[in-house]
Amino acid sequence: MGGSKRGLSSRHVLRDAKRKLSASPAKKVLVINTGAHLSNFSLAVQERFKALCDADQFVERVSYGSDHRTLRAADATVPDSFNPGAWGGRPPPTFPDVHVTIGLDKGGHPGSEKIVVSIVNQKRPNNPRNTILAAVRPCKKDEYPEVSEFVAIHSPRIDELLERGLDVCSERRPVRLLLSGDFESQTTVVGHKGPNSTMPCLQCKSTKAPSIAHATLDAKYGTLPDVSGPWLHRDADQ
């Protein structure tokens, strides 16, 4: 094939590069009773964003209003001083941000459950090659206690990601966090009963089979006036 004349590296150079990559703090793995976990997946996310920027593959994503128009100008910039943690993963739609999804994926033979992190700011973000495997464990069925323990390992890193934001193309941006996965996995993470719950939807307070009291509240307010929301309850029926 021409070897060095073609600009190809020798095998021992490639092996050395592979060792250096595997030694990166962003790729360190912790194996404990709940499964195999990336020691710090927020570092892995930052490493992936740096790679996207270095390869000029970062794709700007913006939020859209009800009129299908963007809610901020394409040339909007992040101010010199800001606190990304102030928004808790929900920055204003007019603010330049980055979109990160965290979700569960279950399946395979034998069955396993995985925590998958995806970066929306790239082409084909749902391609498995473009996702980050944050954790994996043997699993036959989703149960709240096991899933809660499995996900809790990464809670401090999620908080860290939201509090600091990410360095993107030489500027620091807040993270817009999106919970991903199928409906069953999303409801299991928060301890929600899913379609069997009085409030089956995770995004609103609509009731499935309202009692007289619920029907009265629905008629008066259009929804249940509970500011906390089902996300904060292990059981929305409570």
Q: What residue ranges do the domains of the chain occupy?
A: 24-61+82-189, 192-238
- Banded pLDDT at 74 (limits 50, 70, 90): low
Residue 87 phi, psi (nearest 5): -105, -5
CA gyration radius, the chain:
21
Residue 3 phi, psi (nearest 5): 55, -130
Contact 151, 189 (CB under 8 A): yes
Identify how many contiguous H helices and E strands the chain contains and give both numbers: 6, 8
What pLDDT is recorded for position 237?
A: 38
Contact 61, 99 (CB under 8 A): yes
**How is residue 147 written in tokens?**
């899933």
Question: Would the pLDDT of 228 be above 50?
Answer: no
Contact 165, 176 (CB under 8 A): no
> How large is the average pLDDT for residues 224-236?
38
Beta bridge partners of 119: 100
Contact 91, 98 (CB under 8 A): no
DSSP string, 131-185: EEEEEEEE-SS--HHHHHHHHHTTHHHHHHHHHH-EEETTEEE-EEEEEES-HHH
Q: pTM (2 decimals)?
A: 0.71
Q: Give residues with Cβ within 8 angstroms of 87, minimum separation 6.
A: 162, 174
Assign residue 80 a region: left if phi > 0, alpha if psi is -120 to 50, beta otherwise? alpha
What pLDDT is recorded for position 26?
A: 83
- Banded pLDDT at 76 (limits 50, 70, 90): confident
Tell me how many degrees the CA angle 211-222-210 measures, rounded to the nearest 5: 15
Average pLDDT, the chain: 79
Contact 58, 52 (CB under 8 A): yes
What pLDDT is recorded for position 229?
A: 36
**Half-sphere exposure of 38 toward its Cβ, with a 13 Å CA cutoff?**
25
Question: Would the pLDDT of 110 be above 70?
Answer: yes
- Banded pLDDT at 2 (limits 50, 70, 90): low
What pLDDT is recorded for position 57?
A: 93
